[in-house]
Structure 1
Amino acid sequence: MPTDGAELLELEREALERIGKASDETELESLRVGYLGRKSGRVTRAMRGLGGMAPEARAAFGKAANQVKRSVREAIGKRGRELTAVGALALADGVGISGAPSLAPASDRTPSPADLSLPPRHPWRGGLHPVTRTVREICAIFRDLGFTRARGPEADTEWYNFEALNTPLDHPAADEQDTLYLEGGHLLRSHTSPVQMRILEKHEPPVRIVAPGWVYRRDTYDATHTPAFMQIEGLAVDEGITFVDFKATLAEFARRYWGPDTRIRFRPSYFPFTEPSAEVDVKRIVRRKDGSERATDWIEVMGAGMVDPAVIANAGLDPERFTGFAFGMGPGRIAMLKHGVDDLRRFFECDVRFLESLVGRPW
């Protein structure tokens, strides 16, 4: 074990010489352990001897030992990079590493020319998330039907989230078990419906909007629920809008999104802010691999209805003059139906392999 500066320098010279001649990564790792290993490395053992030295000699020897340690570590790293490059060239030449004569130091090698005929690696392009893509597709259809895109704050007040939408604060939906409350009478919106009230307050009808955005609820994270998810709100208010307009608009959307043979049905339901209210189901035509077709079962895709007169009045409009319809859908659920995904959580696991399987190309 070195005990003075001269012996340290000799140890460094020996280590650097042996490292420079290492012919493969196994030999290089053996040298690393032999010189820098925690238990028996020669440089490591030299540094452990500092405790037995006189104080005046300890500082100088410690500084020199640290310099040797740093020099050996850098030499090992450099030689490792050289061996890695040698291995890549050997593989490109079509020979095994063990049979490649290029394991000599890099300065003694003549690199082989690059094979420009090899196919390149696909660039890391990324892409739109399936739910984001679904939102854009839905909004594009409604844009063609005369709707504009709107948005509102995700942290809203009890008035806009509940009371203005004909939902009293003692309604079960306003319970703390279902809604995420903030300080000062604010909350994280539990649906995108507050956007329709803000739009009606600022814009005189006719109004036709779709409002996609994130909403938040105290839901259990499972195959069909998540505490944060996307929702798309739709609203049309004008003079003389009837249930016929309502049904025709949603039927046209369904045909454009799922195909011209898509059927649509309305089931009576209840929502505080619409009257009458309905659950909207679709039945699609699916083409099998053999070219034949089959109809799916009825699938629920959205809740909807005619805007309740109380909601129109809360916006400062005359419910005797203006009528309208509203609807809300979850693009996450629609993306599940479109891609045949049975677990909503798959969309949020950031599994690139899963995302690539949906877009049909490297992500």
Structure 2
Amino acid sequence: MTEADLESHRRDVTAELRADVREGLTADQKWLPPKWFYDAEGSKLFEKITALPEYYPTRSEREVLARRAAEVAGQTGAHTLVELGSGSSEKTRLLLDALTAHGTLEAFVPMDVSESALAEAAAAITADYPKLEVRGVVGDFTQHLQLLPGTAPRVVAFLGGTIGNFLPGERAEFLRSVRDVLGEGEWLLLGTDLVKDPETLERAYDDAAGVTAAFNRNVLRVINAELGADFDPDEFDHVAHWDAEHEWIEMRLRARGRIEVRIPGADLIVPFAEGEHIRTEVSAKFRPDGVEAELNAAGFALERWWTDSQERFGVSLARSVRA
């Protein structure tokens, strides 16, 4: 992207944040989308979360990729690896190594809404893989998939269980949008956290060191920085709750007392009652048959299904089929 393109993107991001804040914080049950966790500080906090002893998903998914990356390379023969929500791209190096060894990979396309995180990751990959074309795309993968370049066949990697952050209808729409930008026979590599005991799940989202709590509160700091709000993040408690009916974890921020927050950039004054919640994230957990059904409905055929040794996390490789 040119500097003018980046400046236009920044304006778009601010406008989108303003719209989300207006809609979410004026709702009867307040909410904010989880993508607003991820400024530079939020991205750093999430990297810390992935190393916590309670947070099993990253280790479990890495185990699968370490064992199966060569199979991904052999099955797909990909010329381009696309990663959505790339962050640090650390786990993706397992795929890059396997595809490079297979001899087909020409380009890596990381996509992330955080410009700073993307620049850092792209620079590190470029330094370590000097023969690989690296084309970072600053964008929101729910809106800007049409921006993705690359020579077919492509593998789109959507890892980390991030698919669980969508509500069911949003998830179906997103999977269809991925299918729509892929040609027939191109690939989706999807990471899905699996249903397990509630204690393990809640500990993964409410660690003893309080890193996840800081990450959750970071959304308030983002609103302060971008929209001039006067949130005091310390006036909100971090809450992680397993919803057994919907089979998802909800992260919330709970007001410790009666609070009034001014948000000039959204032309809002938002009152909070004591104990009132903002839902900041839903993280759905999956069952294998459900993953396959959702992929099929979106126009994908499941070709490979792998789990880690403890069957905590699933990775699926699916081929796009004719609509």
Q: Mark yes or no: TM-score above 0.5.
A: no
Where relative contact order (Cα < 8 A, 6+ residues apart) is larger, the structure is 2
Q: Give the TM-score, by structure 1 length.
A: 0.27
Q: TM-score, normalised by structure 2?
A: 0.29
Of structures 1 and 2, the larger Rg is shown by 1
Q: Which has the higher strand share?
A: 2
